[in-house]
Amino acid sequence: MKNSSQLLLVDGMALLFRAFYATSVTGQFMINTKGIPTNAVQGFMRHFLTALEEMEPSHAIVCWDMGSKTFRSEKFDGYKANREAPPIELIPQFDLVKEVVAAFDVPNVGVIGYEADDCIGTIAKSVQNDIKVSILTGDKDLLQLVDHQIDVNIIQKGFGNYKTFSNEIFYEEYGITPRQFIDVKALMGDTSDGYPGVKGIGEKTALKLIQQFETIPVLLENLHQLTPSQRKKIEEDLAMLHMSRELAEIKCDVPLTFSLEEAELNTISPQFLSFIDDLELRSIRRHLIQSKWSNLAKQA
């Protein structure tokens, strides 16, 4: 492969939810004449198209969760159990966004029992020696995937604003390696994912402990070096610490199939433009007219 080759891996769920809540706050669900709300789909595609323009990848794949039941929820009942059901206006957009991505000729990848993060990790690690990988997400959990030829771009406010993490930038910010970030998460837990880690240990302490001891096994061998309070907290929550470590780690061996050849980006087809016009996805059409694909978008 050429050095200029780059695969963009998109965390579909993170972008879709972000896009939905950005407009739903003001009640702008953009319901079309078929009665289907489209605000999340249109916002998702704006994020996706902007990333294609900014990063200029040669290939793209969008990864999705496939329902709430995963190997993590089987291991731990509380995993994501605190999350409310998605709003009624978002539900029809889960399938619709995948149809739009497929019509754009970009593969959708998702495996039942796993999360989008696991699919992203599996694909990224399997191709990193052949092609540069850029991950697009709003979720810092994916920072553990930063590696040689794998960057993670965290979406900031607005469109086209990213905080990009390479190995060097990650180390500058956190003073640990991306792999050690899993141990930090195990200690501090994750309230949004519903696992507690060690009660009473927050991000600052967790970071400090892993900077000092490097891994949880080494930390556990050296509990005598901790303050009495820290030692007591870890000893009382040992089982949950180990469970949280399992839940925090992104699996990079998901049984999935994908093809880089099918992920190669092509020019926009007139069929795609007809498809979005039929769904009345006006903001996508407007975006395309103003983008590098403008000539093709005006023709159809």
Count CB atoms within 10 A of the CB of residue 145: 25
pLDDT at position 26 over 50: yes
Q: What pLDDT is stored for residue 78 in this prediction? A: 87
Q: Give the residue-averaged pLDDT of 133-138.
A: 97
pLDDT at position 299 over 60: no
Query: Would you place residue 23 in the very low, low, confident or very high pLDDT band (cuts 50, 70, 90)?
Result: confident
Q: Which residue has the tokens 């930063």?
A: 146
Residue limits of CATH 3.40.50.1010 in the chain: 6-172+251-295
Q: In terms of DSSP H, where are the helices of 61-166?
A: 71-75, 91-103, 116-127
Listed residue (128, 132, 127) closest to 57, CA to CA? 132
pLDDT at position 39 over 60: yes
Q: Give the residue-averaged pLDDT of 4-18.
A: 95
CATH 3.40.50.1010 at 6-172+251-295, yes or no: yes
With both helix axes pointing from N to C terminus, report the angle between 91-103 and 39-55 in degrees, rounded to the nearest 10: 40
CA distance 299 to 38: 24
Give percent of the chain with pLDDT exceeding 70. 96
Q: What pLDDT is stored for residue 294 in this prediction? A: 54
Query: Would you place residue 194 in the very low, low, confident or very high pLDDT band (cuts 50, 70, 90)?
Result: confident
Q: What pLDDT is stored for residue 87 in this prediction? A: 94
Residue limits of CATH 1.10.150.20 in the chain: 174-248
pLDDT at position 292 over 90: no
SS3 call for 79? coil
pLDDT at position 300 over 60: no
pLDDT in tens, 81-99: 888 889 999 999 999 999 9
pLDDT in tens, 222-249: 999 999 999 999 999 999 999 999 999 9
Q: Give the residue-averaged pLDDT of 25-31.
A: 89
Contact criterion met (CB below 8 Å) for 19 and 46:
yes
Q: Give the residue-averaged pLDDT of 129-154.
A: 97
pLDDT in tens, 156-175: 988 888 999 999 999 999 99
The CATH class that applies to domain 174-248 reads mainly alpha
